[in-house]
Amino acid sequence: MSCPFYGFHLAPSTHVLIDSAGNECPLYSDAHQLSPCQMERAADHPDIALCPLDDLRIHLAAHIRANYSLIRRTGPALTFADWERNHPQEHRP
């Protein structure tokens, strides 16, 4: 398994993930800074099943899947759940 969140960042004060086409993680970012994938920083392959997320961030991941939309570099905006269901190979390192 890889990470469906890899390469996105949260748009401040919205329920939108934006495709950054790079090493970013919306689960570690906040409104004031963007953060790279913590696993990749540790020279590991990004994998949501092995991610060192704490319980709060695991809850955030479920919330994002259910309530957020994403803006990709190409194509229309989608809900995160629809994108994950219909585009299983995108943004998975």
Q: How far is CA 1 from CA 13, 30, 31, 56, 74, in A?
A: 30, 25, 28, 21, 24
The residue-averaged pLDDT of 31-42 equals 78
Q: What is the pLDDT of residue 31?
A: 52
Rounded Cα gap, residues 27 and 55, in angstroms: 11
pTM (predicted TM-score): 0.69
DSSP character string of 15-43: SEEEE-SSS--TTT-BTTB----HHHHTT
Largest CA distance in the chain: 33
Q: Which of 62, 59, 47 is nearest to 92 (CA)?
A: 47
The residue-averaged pLDDT of 27-41 equals 74
pLDDT per residue over 42-77, tens digit each?
888 888 888 887 666 777 778 888 888 887 777 777
| Domain positions in the chain | 8-86
